[in-house]
Structure 1
Amino acid sequence: MFVLEYKVKPKPYQVEAIEEAIRMTQFVRNKVLRYWMDNRGVGKAELFRYNTRLRKEFKFVEELNSHACQTAVERTLRAITRFYENCKKQVKGKKRCDPAPSHGARERAPREGYPQFKRNTRSVEYKVSGWKLSEDRKHIVFTDKKGIGHLRLIGSRDLNYYHPEQIKRVRILKRADGYYVQFCIKLDPRLTVSKPLTPSQKAVGIDVGLKYFLADSQGNIEPIPQFYRKAEKRLNRLNRQKSKKFRKGKPQSRNYRKARQRYARQHLRVSRQREEFVKRVALRIPPSPPFQRGVGGDLVAYEDLNVAGLVKNRHPPFAPLSKGGWGDDAGWALFRRWLDYFADKYGKIAIAVPPHNTSQNCSSCGEKVQKSLSTRTHICPHCGFVADRDTNAAINILKLGLSRVGRTRIHASGEIPSWLAGEILSANGDS
């Protein structure tokens, strides 16, 4: 699945129409979620039938395209499914689901792990109806009764390369710097490669760390750019300016909204810098046309880290991994998603291995050598092997990957990468 994104500059009346459509999507989602909470055990069919009743009951909901209402129900279903999966897996930080309340019993308030009601939805999503492309594919017209109308697509990607039947979803997205239209195109990324690549006959293991963004088993390193750290001073200043204009218990002024927009745009800039960095690094790991002589190989092994758990732990020795350090600023989880994508696109294998003791074990003799996070050089007292801590870990990761590759089925890790999940728009496509 490809996601192509275009900037649009709607007129004031179109902005109101887009905001109204987004609010209707949020309204349908919250009403369907409320219905599920009041009638625990209802299935997918009942939720879609309730959506149909909503369209008959509320005239303003009927004005929104029926497929856009269905996507709002699908968002609720994904939240419910994720909640039950967390209950089954006993995910830390998620509560077990309570049984349905008996008749006449007081309903409990939603607890942690429950699907939450949305307050600030930022997108409305259409399927195959409610919109129409112009003949030159540079304009789009939304044909439902919300009155969004005609929008010009601003971007370098040409939609003429794709058949209209390949476009499965269209989303209008609101960001801090304006509005965007995204197209979800059903296309195998491997078909976009112009010619098959010559096998490099190499394998590489990579280790993400504190001193470097990553180090591989060949001794190459990539420094951490620390985009958030560099922008932190400006972010703090913009946040103070925003806070000074905030009026508690009163309608906010236009100056406050402007200050809030400046603060949000700076955060958006940092997130885009981080994504472009990890995209460039991930593209270079498996040899690809831009980097035929890249540092990677036909097999790439990396750590299967619980990044969300690492960055939440603020206690020693993991404090540097939290937001107070630079673990959250590195974008390790984002890097893994792009690495999976590029490896599959160019016919390579990416395999995730358990990270246990990869930094402690000696890659030469296999003996365990205890060391703290502050010790950046691996010195083995058993065999005398000396190497950088991260390079030693990368070699161990490569060994684990080679030992597991014969027992894998899909994408070497046995898991479908997040960018392949369904036909729902995600941030993992080309933009």
Structure 2
Amino acid sequence: MIVYEFKVKGKDQQYRAIDEAIRTSQFIQNKCLRYWMDNKDSKVDKYALNKYCAVLAAEFPFADELNSMARQSAAERSWSAIARFYNNCKKKVKGKKGFPKFKKNCRSVEYKTSGWKLSETRKAITFLGKKGIGTLKLKGRYNLNYYDIKQIKRVRLVRRADGYYAQFAIDVDIKVESQPTNQIVGIDLGLKYFIADSKGNVEPSPQFYRKSEKQLNRANRKKSKKFSLAKKKTKQRQSNNYHKARNRYARKHLRVSRQRKEYCLRLAYSVIQSNDLVAYEDLNVKGLVKNRHLAKSISDTGWYTFRSWLEYFGHKYGKVTVAVPPHNTSQNCSHCGEKVKKSLSTRTHVCPHCNYVADRDVNASINILRLGLSTVGHTGIYATGDLPSWAVGVSLLSNGESMNVESSYQ
């Protein structure tokens, strides 16, 4: 399964029609969630929510204007949140179980196999239905002529700060044969170095957010100056200048996010192409960001994004990726195995037992590789950022993010 993304070009009235379709999809998603909450005693499953979409279409004229497949896709998004909650309860996950919440700001609407039609040249797409989206031009480097229409299982329209995008989920075998390199590597993820491997190579952390923080704060202040508290209390719309400043601020954040994603993608691709086995830490990033002293730095690194791409390319090129527990990988000596306690500020590993001296992160990467070699099988998880619901059991992400949309240089 691959996901191709194109920027769409249209008129202002078409963009407004896309916004209306997104709001309708959000309305149906929230209505389905409310229907499940009000009928917990009865058996409400995925198929019951799909049938409820027809009831909503008959009751609300604006819901009937949306394509039936798009309505079902919105219902599946609700069911994916419900199913995730049920699974967490069955697995007795510690802490909050992720009870489904109502969506306040959806940024995408998803179509299945109907409600859209590609042009003969595959350079434009026409959305059918009463919303009036019409024909949109597709701007991008990918060529959809290589694939049959039946292979396109989902089409999603996404609204971002810099415009509107169309994503195509295509059912193809992504596995590619590659020649073995006879190389193995262990990777330690850190803050000083983004990665340090068992061969002694290090990659500095790019710190995209830190470098752009002044510009972001300046744009945020300009946005705040144009915000009117009086209009908010009276529930009036903010001025056009406020919305323009808000969009400029959002575009700067979007640029940082894309820089981080592209950096992680290229680095993961390079690591996979150079090695047959890659061992890395199974970090609990969600728990680590609770540290208020390091939360900003951890979020800026993009460890989870790098891991997702690493596992995705490992699956694509037939390489082994092994996630190992990170406990004591920095404390244990990779030469003699003795435990040498040291604080986070100590960046050099000096073993008093065998006099082995190495960089702290390089020492940890050697321990990670040793643990990875002792693990049997492929323990990495496959990156499922944009896979559709029929492939991984959940629907496409409703926030418009695209984790495994490949760049064209691969």
Bucket of the pairwise TM-score, normalised by the shorter protein: over 0.9
Per-residue deviation, residues 343-370 of structure 1 (Å, max 9, x unmatched): 1111111110111111111111111111
Q: Pick from 364, 370, 379: which aligns with 2:350? A: 379
Number of residues paired by the alignment? 390
Aligned counterpart, 1:226? 207
Which residue matches 2:312? Answer: 341
Q: Does 1:15 align with 2:15?
A: yes
Return the offset for 1:47. 1.7
Q: Structure 1's 214 and 283: CA in aligned 2 closer, same or farther, altered over 3 A?
A: same
Q: 1:98 aligns to what? A: none
Decide whether the 8 Å contact of 1:350 with 1:413 is kept in 2: yes
Q: 1:338 to 1:49 in 2, by over 3 A?
A: same
Q: Secondary structure at the match of 1:300?
A: strand
Select the residue among 302, 327, 338 that pairs with 2:280: 302
Cα displacement string for residues 321-364 of structure 1 (whole angstroms, at most 9, x for unaligned residues): x11xx111000000000000111111111110111111111111
**2: CA distance between counterparts of 1:186 and 1:416?**
16
Q: Match for residue 265 of structure 1?
A: 251
Question: Which aligned pairs between 1:29-428 and structure 2 lie closer than 5 A?
Answer: 29-41=29-41, 42-94=44-96, 113-190=98-175, 193=176, 196-250=177-231, 251-287=237-273, 294=274, 297-314=275-292, 319-320=293-294, 322-323=295-296, 326-404=297-375, 406=376, 408=377, 412-413=378-379, 415-419=381-385, 422=389, 423=391, 424-425=395-396, 427=402, 428=404
Aligned sequence identity (%): 63
Output the TM-score relative to the length of structure 2: 0.92
TM superposition shift of 1:43:
2.0
| Contact 2:5–2:405, Cα closer than 8 Å, also in 1 | no
Name the amino acid aligned to 2:279: A
Q: Distance in 1 between matches of 2:50 and 2:180?
A: 49
Partners of 1:253 and 1:286 lie apart in 2 by 49
Counterpart secondary structure, 2:278: strand
Stretch moving more, 378-387 or 79-88: 79-88
Q: Deviations over 1:104-157 (max 9, x none)?
A: xxxxxxxxx321111111110000000000001001001111110000000111
Whether the aligned pair in 2 keeps the contact of 1:174 and 1:180 (CA below 8 Å) is yes
State the Cα deviation string for residues 201-243 of structure 1 (Å, max 9, x = none). 1110000012100000000000001000000000000000001
On the 8 A contact 2:118/2:125 being kept in 1, the answer is: yes
RMSD: 1.5
Moved over 3 A (4+): 88-93, 414-417, 419-426
Structure 2: unaligned runs, 5 residues or longer: 232-236
Preserved CA contact (<8 Å) 1:184 1:425: no
Q: State the shift of 1:62 in Å.
A: 1.2
Equivalent residue of 2:289, what SS? helix
Deviation at 1:421, TM superposition (A): 7.0
SS of the residue corresponding to residue 30 of structure 1 reads helix
Q: 1:206 to 1:421 in 2, by over 3 A?
A: farther
Structure 1 residues without counterparts, runs of 5 or longer: 96-112, 288-293
Deviation at 1:248, TM superposition (A): 1.3
Inter-partner Cα distance in structure 2 for 1:44 and 1:338:
30
